[in-house]
């Protein structure tokens, strides 16, 4: 019998890559999507269009992390063996504008999920992956962050994720549930949302290359991040749920680059001089900034046998190439 997996946030970057991974491994995959006036399926459209997979191996359900009744119904119907929670309002800047919504989805939404699993009597059967974030450690400077580092969030998003992490640990200890939290440091891909700085950069470069725009405007260029490749990180999430015991893991490359470094690498690959196209705007800087984040994934490497495969330079190439093809296709339909 096929293992059943439920992916919350299946249309996002991580959720879509997880759907691909699980389908390749022979899972029956169920994904939760939110109702929207516009299509949100672009990251999984290639799967949905495959008639040999859609509604045979992949099933989609409307729902929302803030709707506990709907979550309970979905889990009761599916009775999944594994749950991967990637659902979130994950834009840090937007979390300052929408702190209540962010807290409801990223914080209390996780409580809704865990209670739904318990209410359906699945606490000893269903394994749960909770997607945590490096933003939990926002004010820790000049040190590599591991699983024992102090949690010190610097945004409503980080605070909501802190609650989600602690409630997950509490339910693991109180009810003997198999719950793993992955402290995923920044991870990018061609499927990254366009509101995130990496995609904002690579999309702008594609449009500049095609003569569709002249400049790109960014905020803090000195922020430093530990950037990895999303499909590599999704594999780590799957590995967590294949272990004998639940635990929490930092997933990171251990290398740190600034936003300016990403700009220089991206423009250089495209054959452009960033100095002719880059502008800055102080209004794009967050109310409380995180200056540097770098992770220590020793535990994941030793216990999970996980290592990142795609370098930053290779990731930059894939993202620039992907955005160029997308923008080129738009003007050559």
Per-residue pLDDT reduced to its tens digit, 96-153? 999 999 999 999 999 999 999 999 999 999 999 999 999 898 776 657 999 999 999 9
DSSP string, 193-240: -TTSHHHHHHHHHHHHHTTS-S-EEES-S--EE--EEHHHHHHHHHHH
DSSP string, 261-311: HHHHHHHHHTT--GGGTEEE-GGGS-SS---B--B--HHHHHHT-----S-
pLDDT at 93: 85
Give me the residue label for tokens 């096929």: 2
pLDDT at 211: 95
pLDDT at 38: 60
The rounded percent of the chain whose pLDDT value lies above 70 is 97
- pTM for the model stands at 0.94
The answer for residues whose C-beta is within 8 angstroms of residue 125's C-beta and 6 or more apart is: 79, 81
| H or E element in which residue 133 lies | strand 127-133
User: What kind of fold does domain 4-188+227-251 have according to CATH?
Assistant: Rossmann fold (3.40.50)
Q: In this structure, is the dihedral angle defined by the CA atoms of residues 14, 86, 288 and 136, taken in order, positive or negative?
A: negative
d(CA 88, CA 161): 9
pLDDT at 56: 83
Where in the chain are the domains? 4-188+227-251, 197-224+258-291+311-331
pLDDT at 230 over 70: yes
- Token code pair at residue 203: 């999309």
The widest CA-to-CA distance across the chain, in whole angstroms, is 60
Query: Which residues does the annotation mark as catalytic?
Result: 133, 135, 157
d(CA 277, CA 216): 6
d(CA 9, CA 178): 20
User: What kind of fold does domain 197-224+258-291+311-331 have according to CATH?
Assistant: UDP-galactose 4-epimerase; domain 1 (3.90.25)
d(CA 155, CA 99): 9
Q: What order do you get walking across the sheet with 249-251 strand by strand?
A: 58-62, 28-33, 4-8, 82-85, 127-133, 178-184, 249-251
Identify any residues that bridge with 84 across adjacent strands, giving them in sequence order: 7, 129
d(CA 298, CA 312): 19
pLDDT at 43: 85
Could you tell me the pLDDT band of residue 207, with boundaries at 50, 70 and 90?
very high
Confirm if 252 and 295 have CB atoms less than 8 A apart: yes
d(CA 251, CA 182): 7
């Amino acid at each position: 019998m096929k293992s059943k997996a439920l992916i919350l946030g299946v249309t996002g970057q991580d959720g879509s890559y997880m759907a691909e991974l699980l389908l390749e491994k022979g899972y029956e995959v169920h994904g939760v999507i939110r109702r929207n006036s516009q299509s949100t399926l672009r990251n999984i459209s290639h799967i949905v269009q495959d008639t040999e997979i859609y509604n045979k191996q992949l099933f989609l359900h409307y729902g929302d992390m803030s709707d506990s009744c709907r979550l309970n119904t979905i889990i009761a119907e599916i009775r999944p063996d594994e749950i991967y929670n990637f659902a979130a309002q994950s834009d840090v800047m937007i979390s300052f504008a929408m702190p209540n919504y962010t807290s409801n989805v990223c914080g209390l939404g996780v409580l809704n999920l865990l209670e739904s699993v318990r209410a359906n009597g699945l606490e000893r059967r269903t394994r749960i992956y909770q997607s945590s974030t490096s933003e939990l450690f926002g004010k820790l400077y000049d040190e590599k962050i591991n699983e024992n580092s102090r949690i010190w969030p610097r945004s409503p998003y980080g605070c909501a994720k802190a609650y989600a992490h602690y409630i997950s640990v509490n339910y693991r200890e109180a009810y003997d549930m198999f719950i793993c939290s992955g402290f995923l440091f920044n991870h990018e891909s061609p499927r990254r949302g366009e509101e995130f700085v990496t995609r904002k950069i690579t999309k702008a470069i594609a449009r500049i290359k095609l003569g569709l725009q002249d400049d790109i405007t960014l905020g803090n260029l000195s922020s430093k991040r530990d950037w990895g490749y999303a499909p590599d990180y999704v594999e780590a999430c799957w590995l967590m749920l294949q272990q004998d015991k639940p635990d929490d893991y930092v997933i990171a490359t251990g290398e740190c680059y600034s936003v300016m470094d990403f700009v220089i690498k991206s423009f250089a690959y495209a054959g452009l001089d960033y100095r002719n196209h880059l502008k800055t705007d102080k209004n794009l800087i967050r109310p409380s900034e995180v200056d540097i984040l770098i992770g220590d994934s020793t535990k994941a490497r030793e216990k999970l046998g996980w290592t990142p495969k795609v370098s930053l330079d290779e990731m930059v190439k894939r993202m620039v190439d992907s955005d160029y093809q997308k923008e080129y296709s738009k003007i050559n339909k």
